Amino acid sequence: MSNEERTFIAIKPDGVQRGLIGDIIKRFEQKGFKLVAMKFTQASESLLKEHYIDLKDRPFYPELVNYMASGPVVAMVWEGLNAVKTGRVMLGETNPADSKPGTIRGDYCIQVGRNIIHGSDSVKSANTEINLWFKPEELCSYESCAHTWLY
């Protein structure tokens, strides 16, 4: 286990449009995770198809790509001990209806097709997604002054 584990988190177009960027970023900051990269971007269809390639045979795949392309997203890399697993816990379940209050999806959304946030589901997919969304030079290397107070 590493304090430098990284996860890819993206605020989806509905999260952006509904004014939830600040609240979502705040949760990751307050948890103690370290922001390594962030961009506000309109993702291309080809990037989104690749991002969700594992779901290409699911009936909702075309609609999912359209939804993700419907507006800008906030793409981020957060770092810390168990960042992938803890990130998923912070998101809640895929279906907001199954997500507990206190989780991001449990607190801010209703339907599975409008679930406002993406988070990597394994360290392997996190690395794939980080490489897909960011160039190596876009990942910032710096020391957080909070580090010794967190670990």
Choose the binding region for ligand IDP from 14-22, 34-42, 79-87, 113-121 (rule: CB under 6 A). 113-121
Query: For residue 52, which phi and psi values (nearest 5 degrees)?
Result: -105, 25
Work out the end-to-end distance of the chain between its first and last CA atoms, rounded to an integer number of angstroms.
13
Residue 138 is a binding residue for ligand IDP (CB under 6 A)? no
Q: Which of 14, 9, 7 is nearest to 116 (CA)?
A: 14
> Which of 117, 118, 130, 133 is the catalytic position?
118
Does 148 count as an annotated binding residue?
A: no
Residue 65 is a binding residue for ligand IDP (CB under 6 A)? no
Q: What's the closest the beta carbon of residue 109 comes to ligand IDP, in angstroms?
A: 10
118 an active-site residue? yes
Q: How many residues bind ligand IDP (CB under 6 A)?
A: 9
Q: What's the closest the beta carbon of residue 143 comes to ligand IDP, in angstroms?
A: 31
**Going edge to edge, which strands form the sheet with 73-79?**
34-41, 73-79, 6-11, 117-119
User: Running DSSP on this structure, what letter comes out for residue 65?
Assistant: H
Query: Would the CA dihedral through 15, 42, 45, 84 be positive or negative?
Result: negative
Does 60 count as an annotated binding residue?
A: yes
User: Binding-site residues, please?
Assistant: 12, 60, 88, 94, 105, 115
User: Binding-site residues for ATP, please?
Assistant: 12, 60, 88, 94, 105, 115
